[in-house]
């Protein structure tokens, strides 16, 4: 379990910021872990702001909601840059579905962290083909802390790191749940991809 670093947030009158990334496949608990960290920051009376991409309207227009139906209020935005306006004065900025943001996301998170904000971003590290997803690789490279969480393979019960798309669609972005995706381990993912051919 991630334990918040015990660094002083104030040093010589300057706030200290950093970047945390929570990544993994679908159903791996990224959103639950994001909500857990943000709720703890709320308990510590920190000022928080949560962003999600405007396109993610799966469960709720505004809330960030986990597959377990835990939720937290968020602000949907279309461009990573918009976080600078609203998030700059916060102690903590949370970001869900980070993979859907534009390539400017890593730079925006660096600016926030450099100005003293703790940034916690959750997102898919790989798409349905097993390829790196959007701004996630760049974001992971500038983060102080990267936590990879695992789902359970629905085929064999091993740990799952892949999101297998069970429907026919080739666009990288296809919003969905269990009707379109399965959490799978490497072996069962490869078997599924072979069977598609
Ligand atoms: N194959 C699976 N492996 C693990 N958890 C699953 C699976 N399918 C459904 N779940 C549920 O999904 C929850 C995690 O949801 P969530 O935090 O929204 O995941 P993520 O944001 O990574 O998609 C788990 O606590 C569990 O209740
Ligand atoms: C693998 C993959 C997923 N998506 C979509 C499907 C869901 O709407 C989100 C992921 O949500 P979660 O909180 O991580 O479960 O992303 C997609 O558009 N393209 C993909 O390749
Ligand atoms: Zn498996």
pLDDT at 58: 65
pLDDT at 72: 83
Options 33, 49, 97, 182, the catalytic residue: 97
Residues of the chain falling short of pLDDT 50:
none
Q: Which residues line ligand 2 (CB under 6 A)?
A: 26-27, 30-31, 58, 124, 127-128, 163, 172-176, 181
- Domain membership of residue 107 (yes or no) is yes
Give the annotated binding-site residues for substrate: 173-176, 181
- Domain membership of residue 80 (yes or no) is yes
- Domain membership of residue 58 (yes or no) is yes
- Domain membership of residue 177 (yes or no) is no
Q: What is the CATH number for 74?
A: 3.40.50.300
- Domain membership of residue 179 (yes or no) is no
- Domain membership of residue 2 (yes or no) is no
Number of structural domains in the chain: 1
The rounded distance, in Å, linking the Cα atoms of 149 and 161 is 8
Could you give the ipTM of this predicted complex?
0.99
pLDDT at 8: 58
Contacts of 140 (CB under 8 A, 6+ apart): 21, 23, 125, 146
- Domain membership of residue 181 (yes or no) is no
pLDDT at 19: 98
Q: Which residues of 6-24 are buried (b: 16+ CB within 10 A; e: fewer)?
A: eeeeeeeeeeebbbbbbbb
pLDDT at 9: 62
Domain span holding position 35: 13-149
pLDDT tens, position by position, 100-141? 999 999 999 999 999 999 999 999 999 999 999 999 999 999
């Amino acid at each position: 379990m991630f334990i918040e670093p015990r660094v002083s947030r104030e040093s010589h009158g300057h706030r200290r910021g950093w970047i945390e990334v929570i990544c993994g496949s679908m159903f791996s608990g990224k959103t639950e872990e994001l909500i857990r960290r943000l709720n703890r920051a709320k308990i510590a009376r920190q000022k928080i702001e949560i962003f999600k991409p405007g396109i993610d309207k799966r469960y709720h227009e505004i809330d960030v909601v986990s597959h377990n139906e835990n939720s937290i209020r968020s602000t949907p935005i279309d461009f990573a840059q918009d976080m600078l306006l609203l998030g700059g004065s916060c102690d903590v900025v949370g970001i869900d579905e980070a993979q859907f943001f534009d390539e400017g996301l890593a730079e925006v998170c660096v600016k926030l962290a450099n100005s003293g904000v703790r940034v916690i971003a959750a997102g898919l590290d790989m798409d349905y083909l097993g390829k790196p997803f959007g701004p996630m690789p760049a974001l992971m490279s500038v983060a102080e802390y990267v936590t990879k969480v695992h789902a359970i393979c629905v085929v064999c019960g091993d740990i799952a790191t892949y999101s297998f798309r069970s429907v026919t669609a080739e666009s990288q972005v296809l919003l969905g749940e269990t009707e379109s995706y399965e959490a799978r381990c490497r072996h069962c993912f490869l078997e599924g991809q072979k069977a598609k051919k």
